[in-house]
């Protein structure tokens, strides 16, 4: 039963992705989805990870640039941030930042 539930959730997750996500450049939605496993769905973290919810877009972009440049102490964010271009950081921040 447990495995079935997991499969259903996985299937729902795939269905929830916009169709455009399958082709060309990763959309901000797809990029942001990669953050939720640690920072919680909608950026509200339940565990030891800092929450992204409530942070402004400019703060998130600033942090990501600092992580990327190793200017900010981190365990994993440096590696993650290095994968993003400036344009992708801006798109992520706009997507995740509190409006």
Tokens of 30: 């797809």
Residue 75 found at the interface with ligand HEC (CB under 6 A): yes
CB burial of 54-83 (b: ≥16 within 10 Å; e: otherwise) equals ebebeebbebbbbbbeeeeeeeebbeebee
Instruction: Write each residue from 78 to 97 as x if it is in contact with ligand HEC (CB under 6 A), else as -, in one continuous string.
Output: --x-----------x---x-
Shortest reach from residue 43's CB to ligand HEC, in Å: 8
Select from 21, 38, 53, 94 the one that contacts ligand HEC (CB under 6 A).
38
The answer to whether 97 and 60 are in contact (CB under 8 A) is yes
Q: Site residues (CB under 6 A) for ligand HEC?
A: 31, 34-35, 37-39, 49-50, 52, 60, 63-64, 74-77, 80, 92, 96
């Amino acid at each position: 039963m447990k495995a079935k539930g997991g499969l259903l959730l996985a299937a729902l997750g795939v269905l929830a992705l916009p169709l455009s996500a399958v082709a060309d450049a990763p959309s901000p939605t797809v990029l942001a989805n990669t953050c939720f496993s640690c920072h919680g769905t909608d950026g509200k973290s339940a565990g030891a990870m800092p929450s992204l919810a409530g942070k402004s877009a400019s703060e998130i972009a600033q942090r990501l640039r600092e992580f990327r440049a190793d200017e900010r102490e981190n365990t994993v964010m440096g590696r993650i941030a290095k994968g993003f271009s400036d344009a992708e950081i801006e798109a992520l921040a706009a997507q995740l930042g509190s409006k």
